[in-house]
Structure 1
Amino acid sequence: MKLYLDTNRTNLIFSGKVIPKAEYVELTNGERRRSGNQAHDTAPDGGKGAPLWTVDVFPDDDETMRAEALGVTVASWDEPQGKKWQPIKFVNLRANVYVDQRSGRAAVSLRADGIEGQAQPAQKAA
């Protein structure tokens, strides 16, 4: 289930941290392990799309007791950029709700189509 988030009501602050998202492979015994490669989005033709990145942010929320970092997955041919400790806006930010296979519990991951003001990964740049 995908839930689109209203980013006009919550400020997200860029931590300055961006890491390549790890690719996982399923082994013959059903276990999942990191392959050592960067994960990629799926291209419209079903092939390999843009590399995936995890952008760490903090919600700017005065009502919480503690700050908690959130990772937002973004597909981009170039490493996403932002100004450390400054607000960052995502394009089509959504929460993906799923069941964690290990624990059997509901889990949430955040995904966005891009970062406002940065090129979208429609096709690989020449």
Structure 2
Amino acid sequence: MRAIPVDTSRVQFLATGKAVARAVYAELTDGSRRRVPDRQEMNDDGVPMWTLDVLVDDPDADRAEVVGVKVASYDEPAVEKFRPVQFVNLVAVPYVQQGTNRVAISMRADGIEVATGKAAAA
């Protein structure tokens, strides 16, 4: 699917302090998927993938929302809770959820920067 660039100048992202390694899944012969123990997803360059949970503070929205953003980093992304986070090349990728007709959106970025401007993921 096509990746759609996200205009990050319109919303603020606040770190929740939560990051988790992206799991690897194997497709079974019956078409179902199962998590492969002790394996972490890697990007095309062999860099480990992480999901960083952030609070989306959109001034035009009625409520805040928490989203997971996939980021490649050799080390676990570590950002302080409720500290503003900026994403490098943030994109939204629409997809159809497996086993349903629902369209969902996956978010991914090339990296993150905390409020100090220091790069936190590569």
Report the TM-score, using the length of structure 1 for normalisation. 0.84
What corresponds to 2:35 in structure 1? 34
- Out of 91, 111, 115, which is 2:112 matched to? 115
Unaligned runs of at least 5 residues, structure 2:
114-118
Report the RMSD for the aligned CA atoms in angstroms: 1.4
> How far did residue 115 of structure 1 move?
0.8
Unaligned runs of at least 5 residues, structure 1:
44-48, 121-126
Q: Which stretches of structure 1, 4 residues or more, deviate above 4 A after TM superposition?
A: none
What corresponds to 2:9 in structure 1? 8
**1:68 and 2:57 aligned:** no
> How far did residue 72 of structure 1 move?
0.2
- Out of 96, 99, 102, which is 2:99 matched to? 102
Identity fraction in percent: 47
In the alignment of these two chains, the number of paired residues is: 115
What corresponds to 2:26 in structure 1? 25
Moved more, 3-12 or 58-67: 58-67
Alpha-carbon distance in 1 for matches of 2:23, 2:53: 15
The one-letter code of the counterpart of 2:55 is: F
**1:54 and 2:51 aligned:** yes
Alpha-carbon distance in 1 for matches of 2:6, 2:59: 19
